[in-house]
Amino acid sequence: MPRSGRLKDLGVYVALGAFALTTLAPFAWMLLASLKPLAEVESANPVPTVWKFENYSAVAEQVPFGRYFANSVVVAGWVTLLTCLSSAMAAFAFSRLRWRGRDALFRLYLATLMIPGVVTMIPNYTLMVRLHLLDTYTGLIVPASFGAFGTFLLRQFMLGLPTALDEAARLDGATHWHVFWDVVLPLARPGVITLAIFAFLGNYGSFYWPLVMVKSPHMRTLPVGLLTFDTVYGRQTNLLMAAAAMSLVPPLLVFLFGQRFLVRGIQLGAVKG
């Protein structure tokens, strides 16, 4: 029994190792390709003969890459903030307050989760045209900040919190706002952090909305900027890979710091959702 168990363990490590290798190989190829001189990008050998670290700064000489970067981080940051705050408030109303029509309205929220994004994309685009918000930060941020998903996630989380504390606070004469801000929100922090990670990663990678909203080069977010770079300078695979590699740094950081919250949040959504 122990020997076969050890053999089995070995098999598990081999399978995981093979899979991890498949996962990592494209990223390794990307990093190597990003360091090649232009003359070698079409060579079959993945390893550069000369290591051109200056490729990374060369990206910014061809396109305003820093600007794309800043646009993406600023837009995703604002969307995350607005999503978390408005969703937490709505989730509080849907989970902790009693009022007529609460569950009916919540079901309406849920129903919209099934509607394809493209259905609302077109009217939102025409609305932005009407409001002269094309090509603005407001236009990039505000329509992306109020989906039903965040409200759903936080409502589920708040339903799982004990009500004893906020009832005690209410008896002590605390207002609803105090109960929300000082009692429920601190307890719901893991849920809010999970939502913040989802919202940031989702919006940072968001492509469709910025693609139709952005007209001028200085408003491009990273995904749109990468696409332009690919279209205009596509033969410079080395610089393109350098740009792609740099754009992966923020999600990597968010992932490394938020991993344990992410797993917990997914558990939450799956088990109770």
- Give the angle subtended at the CA of 109 by the CAs of 106 and 110, to the nearest 5°: 90
Q: Which of 31, 69, 29, 24 is nearest to 52 (CA)?
A: 31
Judge residue 179's burial from the number of C-beta atoms within 10 Å of its C-beta, 0-12 exposed, 13-18 middle, 19 or more buried. buried
* Residue 25 sits in the site that holds another protein (CB under 8 A): yes
CB atoms within 10 A of CB 124: 17
The only residue of 85, 110, 161, 169 in contact with another protein, by rule CB under 8 A: 85
Q: Considering the complex, what minimum distance in angstroms separates the CB of residue 47 from another protein?
A: 12
- Is the Cβ of residue 70 or residue 122 nearer to another protein in the bound state? 122
CB 58 within 8 A of CB 38: no
What would the x/- binding string for another protein be over residues 155 to 194, using CB under 8 A?
A: ---------------x-----x---x--------------
What would the x/- binding string for another protein be over residues 245 to 264, using CB under 8 A?
A: x-xx--xx--xx--x--xx-
The only residue of 68, 76, 244, 261 in contact with another protein, by rule CB under 8 A: 244
DSSP 233-271: HTT-HHHHHHHHHHHTHHHHHHHHHHHHHHHHHHHHHHH
What tokens were used for 169?
């606070």
The only residue of 99, 107, 164, 172 in contact with another protein, by rule CB under 8 A: 99
What tokens were used for 272?
């109770």
* Residue 124 sits in the site that holds another protein (CB under 8 A): yes
- Is the Cβ of residue 161 or residue 227 nearer to another protein in the bound state? 227
Q: Name every residue whose Cβ is closer than 8 Å to that of residue 126 and which is 6 or more positions away in sequence.
A: none
Q: Considering the complex, what minimum distance in angstroms separates the CB of residue 155 from another protein?
A: 11
Q: Which stretch binds another protein (CB under 8 A): 48-56, 57-65, 73-81, 144-152?
A: 144-152
* Residue 43 sits in the site that holds another protein (CB under 8 A): yes
Q: Considering the complex, what minimum distance in angstroms separates the CB of residue 122 from another protein?
A: 5
The only residue of 67, 77, 120, 187 in contact with another protein, by rule CB under 8 A: 120
What tokens were used for 8?
């089995």
The only residue of 65, 143, 188, 194 in contact with another protein, by rule CB under 8 A: 143
Q: What is the length of the chain?
A: 273
